[in-house]
Amino acid sequence: MMKSNVSYPGQKRKEPISDTMLLMSITIGIFVVMYALAMIILKGGFLKPQMLFDMLNDNAYLIIISCSLTIVMITGSIDISVGSVTALVTMVDVMILNGNLHLFDGLQKALGVGDEFRIVFAAVMSLAIGLAFGVVQGYLIAYLEIQPFIITLAGLFFGRGMVTIISVDPQKAPQNLMDILQTRINMPLLGSPNKKGVIIPAHIEIGVVIALVILILVFILLRKFRLGRNFYAVGGNRQSALMLGVNVRRTRFLAHMLSGLLAGIAGFVFMMHVGAGNATNATASEMNAIATSIIGGTLLTGGVGNVIGTMFGVLTLTTIKAIVVTSGLRDPWWQSITTGAMLCFFILLQSVVLSRRGRGGFHLPPWLKKAEKKEGT
């Protein structure tokens, strides 16, 4: 009843919601409904805030590589190497923390710093590896115009192969360093009582903070910065973007570079969470990242997407998995099946929503007709 289509002169018109915002709102809505239903029906862990925080703790790295995928997918490209880069970085970081890499061992002695300083080495190395992948892949894709799928598929195999070369056996990081890295940020107010009635404070890990900071930075980049808007332009229509004066090659290069860099950070965050390097770390996580981006409203065709949506994509995906597990379907294939079904559902939903929007076609909207009449009289 409050809705009124009559506009008065001087009154600001409310713009129809954009495709990006529309798809994102749908995802957020579905997540909220799903989580609420889980709280009502399944109860148990879902009533404790820690359930949500654990989802974040377990999936901080996924949030980061999902940001990678959202960025490259907005430009109409794809990067499936991020999972392997994550695994490679994790392994290298663990080796550094263990003092197994002579270069850093020597450097540490030369500088005369303690073992804690190895964390800095690991962080720098994480960024370097991610950046290296991003730069090489970005160059091949943007400047030599090779199919992004092929290039990043090569990156996927290469990265995973490197992990195995470094160590076939799982490597564990030293406990004293892990104690530092796994520092918990406690939130007593959100805690819940255990069986003995003692309040256990809710906690998140540092990795979650890193992931959220990155999320906000990427959000600002995409919204406020010229580069971010160029990502959208290139993804919307590459030819048009070129004609409009956007440096398309540079834009695509930077998107892939950023994607690699974020994957490096994701590797560090993953290492912080698991504390061990393993050849099977983060396997197929690039596929999860694609799924979460799509669920969050990013279109594979490019030009539409938003990291806030992606964030909720991650939450939706992990909530579904948690629901499956707490419902008693503990075999891992149930998670795969539900993930697949959900992805299908979201893509269907998106295409239905977008095609319904587009159905108006090129008819003049009513307000425009009004304007014309005014001119005529």
SS3 246: coil
Token pair of 185 as six digits: 């940020």
Kindly tell me which residue out of 4, 175, 239, 377 binds other proteins, with binding defined by CB under 8 A. 239
User: For residue 284, which amino acid is it?
Assistant: A
Minimum CB distance to other proteins, residue 227 (Å):
7
Question: How many residues in the shown chain lie near other proteins by CB under 8 A?
Answer: 39
H/E run at residue 153: helix 148-166
Report the alpha-carbon distance of residue 295 to residue 290 in Å, rounded: 9
Stretch that binds other proteins, among 221-229, 256-264, 270-278, 341-349 (CB under 8 A): 221-229
Query: Can residue 362 be called a binding residue for other proteins (CB under 8 A)?
Result: yes
Stretch that binds other proteins, among 37-45, 238-246, 280-288, 315-323 (CB under 8 A): 238-246
Angle at which helices 307-326 and 285-295 pack, to 10 degrees? 110
Query: Can residue 244 be called a binding residue for other proteins (CB under 8 A)?
Result: yes
SS3 276: strand
* Nearest residue (CB) to other proteins, 109 versus 224: 224
Residue 128 neighbours by CB under 8 Å, 6+ apart: 264
Please give the residues from 19 up to 58 whose contact with other proteins meets the rule CB under 8 A. Answer: 19-20
Contacts 24+ apart (CB under 8 A), 10-17: none
The contact pattern for other proteins, residues 300-329, with x = CB under 8 A and - = no contact, is ---xx-------------------------
Report which of 234, 227, 184, 232 is spatially closest to residue 204, judged by C-alpha positions: 184
Query: Can residue 243 be called a binding residue for other proteins (CB under 8 A)?
Result: yes
Stretch that binds other proteins, among 2-10, 211-219, 226-234, 280-288 (CB under 8 A): 226-234
Stretch that binds other proteins, among 14-22, 81-89, 310-318, 337-345 (CB under 8 A): 14-22
Q: Which residues pair with 128 in a beta bridge?
A: none
SS3 299: coil
Q: Which residues bind other proteins (CB under 8 A)?
A: 13, 15-16, 18-20, 223-230, 232-233, 235-237, 239-241, 243-246, 303-304, 358, 360, 362-365, 367-368, 371-372, 375
